[in-house]
Amino acid sequence: GCEEGIDRGEAEDFIRLYHAENPSAGSMKPRLREVAREISQTGTYTHTPGELAFGARVAWRNSNKCIGRLYWKSLRVRDRRHVDTADGVADECVEHLRVATNKGKIRPTVTVFAPDRPGEHAPVIWNDQLIRYAGYTRPDGSVVGDPANAEVTEAAVRLGWRGRGTRFDVLPLVVEAKGTPALRELPPEVVLEVPLRHPSFRWFADLGLKWHAVPVISNMCLEIGGVRYPCAPFNGWYMGTEIGARNLADADRYDQLAVVAERLGLDMSHDRTLWRDQALVELNVAVLHSFEEDGVAVTDHHTEARRFMLHLEKEERSGRVCPADWSWIVPPLSGAATPVFHRYYDDVQLTPAFTRRDGNEG
């Protein structure tokens, strides 16, 4: 929390790390003294633009659960620490989507809003991603749309929002600043979507499935040198399995495996016919085919696994530990058919880091 102020030790460790990896960043001693003075006077300290950008990139580099870290140095950092109103945050989130989407040539980007300060809470976004599909809970408990977003859908409805009631209604942003939540509809031109079709089965398009192009995580906290940035939405591009093996496949999400298996004409009488597995592959083929045909950046889990192996080697050559969590790094489809499956990792928690704001795992 922001009550107890900044941990000086974390501040000093970060300044030392910054100067060790950025020799051209000027002398360290005067900066260490300045930071110590600011902390004793105000209970916190202000990162320079260079420290903020480096901190955000290293927070990505330290993300144990991320398979996509090879390009950590190329993260684009939008410094919006002066923005601390709900309207300002909403405006900058719309702009984030525009610049990150880049008509499908997605650019990994993070926007950093105001930090927690002693005595005042920074703005937070209630949606766990900037683009989410509504989940409407019906009286019988079933959900139309994405069940993962049923709670935030109810919050938006309580705040006066009304959706069209389809399975893919894009939710408004819910931004809370100074204790008051505000709604902001996303302009359609910043929400790029991909309708899903299959290269060999013409009936697939008739399932009416689609997904949005850009994942922007908006429920994590960026921690750098003891300073907490509770609102720092970041995006990369999707790995196809996230959409095809989880979002559209999980029973408590869009639950499409039986639908696809039926249309494939598979024998669904027993698990051991592996009808689920065959449906999973075709669903993932459709995701990669549709994104690629529309020119929207996406990677397959084989390519991403190979890149991560390269990243591990590069980190070891740089003399650094590369922290990783096997249970998240190994893709949810064909795990042992990728190289990341066949080794162990050191799941150490390093800082700077992106941490869970809600505090729970999984």
Ligand X SMILES: N=C(Nc1cccc(CNC[C@@H]2CCCN2)c1)c1cccs1
Contact map string, positions 158 to 197, toward ligand X, x by CB under 6 A: ----------------------------------------
Question: How far apart are the C-alpha atoms of 40 and 24, rounded to whole Å?
Answer: 28
Exactly one of 108, 135, 172, 352 binds ligand HEM (CB under 6 A); which one? 108
Question: How far apart are the C-alpha atoms of 115 and 129, rounded to whole Å?
Answer: 19
Report the SS3 class of residue 185: coil
Exactly one of 239, 245, 287, 296 binds ligand HEM (CB under 6 A); which one? 239
Cβ neighbours around 56 below 10 Å, total? 28
Q: Is 66 a catalytic residue?
A: yes
Q: Is residue 299 part of the contact set for ligand HEM (CB under 6 A)?
A: yes
Exactly one of 109, 235, 241, 338 binds ligand X (CB under 6 A); which one? 235
Given the complex with ligand X, which of 11 and 220 has the nearer CB atom? 220
Q: Which does 127 bind (CB under 5 to 8 A by kind): ligand X, ligand HEM, none?
A: none
Given the complex with ligand X, which of 18 and 237 has the nearer CB atom? 237
Given the complex with ligand HEM, which of 263 and 357 has the nearer CB atom? 357
Picking from 231, 189, 183, 246, the residue whose alpha carbon sits closest to that of residue 213 is: 189
DSSP per-residue letters across 142-179: -EEE-GGGHHHHHHHHHTT------TTPBPPEEEEETT
Count of residues that bind ligand HEM according to CB under 6 A: 18
Q: Which does 63 bind (CB under 5 to 8 A by kind): ligand X, ligand HEM, none?
A: ligand HEM
Q: Is residue 354 part of the contact set for ligand HEM (CB under 6 A)?
A: yes
CA torsion through residues 195, 199, 205, 208, sign: negative
CB distance 131 to 95 below 8 Å:
no
Picking from 195, 193, 180, the residue whose alpha carbon sits closest to that of residue 90 is: 180
Q: Is residue 79 part of the contact set for ligand X (CB under 6 A)?
A: no
Least distance in Å: CB of 330 to ligand X? 13
Question: How far apart are the C-alpha atoms of 74 and 304, rounded to whole Å?
Answer: 17
Given the complex with ligand HEM, which of 93 and 261 has the nearer CB atom? 93
Report the SS3 class of residue 64: coil
Question: How far apart are the C-alpha atoms of 229 and 112, rounded to whole Å?
Answer: 7
Q: Select from 131-139, 168-176, 231-239, 251-259 the region that touches ligand X (CB under 6 A).
A: 231-239
Question: How far apart are the C-alpha atoms of 343 and 330, rounded to whole Å?
Answer: 10
The contact set with ligand X (CB under 6 A) reads 68, 215, 217, 234-236, 238-239, 242
Catalytically annotated residues = 66, 69, 237, 242
**Contact residues: ligand HEM, CB under 6 A:** 60, 63, 65-68, 75, 108, 110, 234, 236-237, 239, 242, 299, 304, 328, 354
